[in-house]
């Protein structure tokens, strides 16, 4: 798995939060991508957990959706997900070493 990849399960909460905000503002993925100046493919990759959300893109989405704090929220969700995944991996590695 590359450094920009997430499993779809890991991206679920981030995608759900972003999709809810999009719906609240009457945006589809295509219309949000256009408004934020992103390629639709890139946004779909983020929504499907195939691409990490960059700080720059998080702020573009916040601006496009007129939702102060959205960028930080999305990045916090992503960071928490990554920390939890690392904890699980580290715990599994330690258990294997103890065998």
Cβ atoms of 42 and 56 within 8 Å: the answer is no
CATH number for the domain including 17?
Answer: 1.10.260.40
Q: Residue 36 domain-assigned?
A: yes
Enclosing domain of residue 85: 8-94
Q: Residue 77 domain-assigned?
A: yes
pLDDT per residue over 13-68, tens digit each? Answer: 899 999 999 999 999 999 999 999 999 999 999 999 899 999 999 999 999 999 99
Q: Residue 3 domain-assigned?
A: no
Q: Residue 18 domain-assigned?
A: yes
Q: Residue 1 domain-assigned?
A: no
Q: Residue 12 domain-assigned?
A: yes
* Spatial distance between the Cα atoms of 64 and 62, rounded to a whole number of angstroms: 6
Buried b (16+ CB within 10 A) or exposed e, 66-84: eeeebbebbbebbeebeee
Higher-confidence residue of 47 and 94: namely 47
pTM: 0.79
Identify the three-state secondary structure at position 5. coil
Give 10's pLDDT tier (boundaries 50, 70, 90).
very low
- What domain count does the chain have? 1
pLDDT at residue number 11: 54
Give 93's pLDDT tier (boundaries 50, 70, 90).
confident
């Amino acid at each position: 798995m590359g450094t920009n990849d997430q499993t779809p399960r890991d991206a679920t909460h981030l995608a759900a939060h972003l999709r809810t905000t999009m719906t609240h503002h009457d945006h589809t993925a295509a219309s949000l991508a256009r408004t934020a100046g992103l390629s639709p493919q890139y946004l779909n990759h983020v929504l499907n957990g195939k691409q990490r959300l960059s700080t720059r893109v998080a702020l573009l989405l916040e601006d496009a959706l007129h939702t102060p704090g959205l960028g930080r929220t999305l990045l916090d969700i992503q960071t928490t997900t990554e920390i939890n995944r690392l904890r699980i991996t580290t715990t599994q590695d330690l258990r294997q070493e103890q065998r």
